[in-house]
Chains A and B, each alone.
Chain A
Amino acid sequence: MPGMTRKKWLLAGAAAVVVIGTGVGLVLRPDGCDICQAANDILLQGSVAQNCTVDVTTEAAAGSLPLTTAGAQRVQVGTVLQNCNKKVGYTLAVTSANCAAAPTGAKVVDSVSTEYLAYSGEFANPTTGGSTASVTGLLASACAGQTGRDVTNAKIISETSTVFVNFTGNTGLAAGTYQDTLTITMNVK
């Protein structure tokens, strides 16, 4: 092969090597990444369980209401200790066992004489979470949807609401034992 022709073949060979080399590089680069980031995440997660409770303590006075003492009476009948780590909040609903019976409204009833004395419930609250300090007139004329406390956007740690009953004593009541049962329920939002 003449010298010139041989040189041309050599140059063509070198060009072919360059082309092949570039091709190999392009194919392999996705595996040999400069910054390898795909699918290298670690999701960290932890859950804190809901822990919401009410603990009602009944006052002695709840068992000896002055029903026949004339005039307005306001008696503290219990306290409600509350804990709730659910920040969206909760409500304290209050219901009465005798409320729905005619005439509608909370009342203590003597089952023997069937006489009764109407009353209303009252909550005195801490104001955390936008709670109203004093909620009165509960169960006076409606039996459902009676909320003694409404907490929003706050965790509650060991707060206490106080429950009162308000009534007007009646000296003309028949002799007997008058009863009702209040139930206080925490509804977490």
Chain B
Amino acid sequence: MSPANRTKLGIAIVAAAGIGIVAVARLAGYDVIEAANTIVLQGTVAQNCSVDVTVNAGAGSLPLASAGAQRVAVGTVLQNCNKKTGYTLEVTSQNCSGAPTGAKVVDPVSTEYLAYSTEFQNPTTGGSQASVTGLLAATCGGQYGRNVTDAKVSGETSTVYVNFTGSETLSAGTYQDTLTITMNVK
């Protein structure tokens, strides 16, 4: 190799090494710069789901001894829920599991009873059925008065009814049961 060519080769090696050093330095620089300049923006909206039951006066004076089919509005259920996955309204009866199975008002003195079923009248938001009947008539668990899916519900009201056939031969006394309405958020 001539002296001139050796010189060119030396310059080329030095130049290549210099570029490599610069490249290494820049890669390390990008790691630090990108991490330091990321801003995570986040906000949380709390779940706010509630039911508010208003009891009608008719619930306290059921016409048990009036012959024939009776349908009495016993309360309203005001609902609010900002959880879009939805919720169910479950209804249970305090006396349901006592034999014979099914909702019934009971007089503890005479031990006589009168069977009834529950009915919900609903807004149709979130795929809810407008009318759900026969609740608690024969089954005590998994009785849903309303099922809302994929919808926020704001200030909607369902109406609760009880249906029964009056009996003129009931013993004198006071007959009671308690319905409990539970909102289960999905």
Interface residues, chain A, with chain B CB atoms under 8 Å away:
3, 6-7, 10, 14, 17, 21, 24-25, 28-29, 31-37, 39-52, 85-88, 155, 157
Residue numbers in A under 8 Å from B5 (CB-CB): none
Once the chains bind, are B50 and A33 in contact (CB under 8 Å)?
yes
Residue numbers in B under 8 Å from A29 (CB-CB): 46-47
Minimum CB–CB distance from B105 to chain A (whole Å) comes to: 6
Contact indicator per residue, chain B 155-186, by CB within 8 Å of chain A (1) or not (0): 00000101000000111111111111111110
Q: List 16 A-B contacts (CB under 8 A).
A: A7-B36, A17-B40, A17-B42, A31-B46, A33-B183, A36-B183, A36-B185, A39-B53, A40-B77, A41-B180, A42-B181, A44-B105, A47-B173, A48-B65, A85-B171, A87-B171
Once the chains bind, are B174 and A45 in contact (CB under 8 Å)?
yes
Residue numbers in B under 8 Å from A50 (CB-CB): 172
Which of B17-25, B55-63, B146-154 is found at the contact surface with chain A?
B55-63
Once the chains bind, are A14 and B40 in contact (CB under 8 Å)?
yes
Minimum CB–CB distance from A50 to chain B (whole Å) comes to: 4
Residue numbers in B under 8 Å from A87 (CB-CB): 109-110, 112, 171-173
Number of residues from B at the complex interface, CB < 8 A: 54
Is B75 in the interface zone, CB < 8 Å from A? yes
Q: Which residue of B lies closest to A3 (CB)?
A: B32
Residue numbers in A under 8 Å from B116 (CB-CB): 44
Minimum CB–CB distance from B117 to chain A (whole Å) comes to: 12
Q: Which residue of B lies closest to A32 (CB)?
A: B47
Residue numbers in A under 8 Å from B179 (CB-CB): 41-42, 44
Given contacts A45-B105, A45-B174, A47-B174, contact A155 B51 (CB under 8 A): no
Complex alpha-carbon distance, A3 and B178, angstroms: 67
Complex alpha-carbon distance, A4 and B167, angstroms: 84
B171 contact from A32, A41, A42, A155, Cβ within 8 A:
A155
Within 8 A of A (CB), among B90-106: 105
Minimum CB–CB distance from A188 to chain B (whole Å) comes to: 9
Residue numbers in B under 8 Å from A85 (CB-CB): 169-172
Is B74 in the interface zone, CB < 8 Å from A? yes
Minimum CB–CB distance from B166 to chain A (whole Å) comes to: 9
Q: Which residue of B lies closest to A39 (CB)?
A: B53
Given contacts A7-B35, A36-B183, contact A45 B61 (CB under 8 A): yes
Residue numbers in A under 8 Å from B115 (CB-CB): none
Residue numbers in B under 8 Å from A88 (CB-CB): 109-110
Is B64 in the interface zone, CB < 8 Å from A? yes
Complex alpha-carbon distance, A39 and B40, angstroms: 41
Is B49 in the interface zone, CB < 8 Å from A? yes
Complex alpha-carbon distance, A14 and B36, angstroms: 12
Once the chains bind, are B62 and A44 in contact (CB under 8 Å)?
yes
Residue numbers in A under 8 Å from B51 (CB-CB): 36, 40
